[in-house]
Amino acid sequence: MSVAAEEMSDVPALLQDEPMARHTSWRVGGPADLFFKPSGVDELASFLATLAGDVPVHFIGLGSNLLVRDGGIRGAVVCTSALPKDVTQLDDERVRAAAGLSCTTLARRCLRWKLGPAAFLAGIPGTVGGALAMNAGAFGGETWDNVESVTTIDRSGAVHTRPRAQFSSGYRNVSGPEDEWFLDATFRFEAEDAAGTSTLRAMLRKRSDTQPLGRPSAGSVFRNPPGNFAGRLIEQAGLKGARVGGAEVSGKHANFIINTGSATAADIEHLIEQLRSEVAQRTGVALELEVHVLGEHAGETG
């Protein structure tokens, strides 16, 4: 392990050389030098304050938009899935949601409180924190369209409340203060009418009908290019069902790559590059990744 952690051996919920395949929806990935799963913000703050300043830190939630390479991750991975998943209605238009809360749960709770339009969140297969980090979207809606403010934590363990104005967001992209990670967000929605229930059900049904749910995947692999859809371009290139090792382009949705059971991260990455290359050759469109790639290839020393 490249990170010295002897002085942190008594930190609760801290693991060394933890296989990331246990923590990603693709079920692949080599070991993280340090893997920390705090149960509260105070515990997280203490860990960050103790961590050496030169140790890289990576935050993950459900690991649903993440490809970890087979060589693993140098530094520390903080998994937020055990943090409190609070969601609170603040008034007739606002709700505060913790970063570890699933987006689908937030959508359902907003429906109960008649806050909307929030149904699009049910199409995002990750947590609020992950959605904030990448401005995740579905069914025409984007996370940051409704953000009023966020709470973050920095490398020293200090907690900050920051207004929406301190961040800029675009399609699957967010920028703001460096070396800070989201703890929660306050969203502002308009009053929702009775149609919200049917809208949410329709979106969940569409997701089930068009996506390979229940198979190990990471959601949409590529961003949709302007005026088109990545899945459509891949399908038009005749690449549905294409395979590299245990990685396969879904026959249900061409912008999904599934782990058939034996895939390595290298298989998935090679298939990604094959799709990008062939779509570019046939259409002239350069597909951009939506999933995040972390870590080292097997055999790299870091």
Indicate which residues carry an active-site annotation.
172, 220, 290
Let me know how many helices (H) and strands (E) the chain has, helices first. 6, 20
Tell me the two tokens of residue 295.
Answer: 């870590």
Tell me the two tokens of residue 231.
Answer: 């899945």
User: Is 139 exposed, middle or buried, given 0-12, 13-18 or 19+ CB atoms closer than 10 A?
Assistant: middle
> Which residue is associated with the tokens 């059900």?
201
C-alpha count within 13 angstroms, C-beta hemisphere, residue 258: 16
Q: Where are the beta strands (DSSP E) in 41-179?
A: 57-60, 66-68, 73-79, 87-89, 94-98, 115-116, 137-138, 141-142, 147-154, 159-163, 168-170, 173-175
Tell me the two tokens of residue 109.
Answer: 């709770």
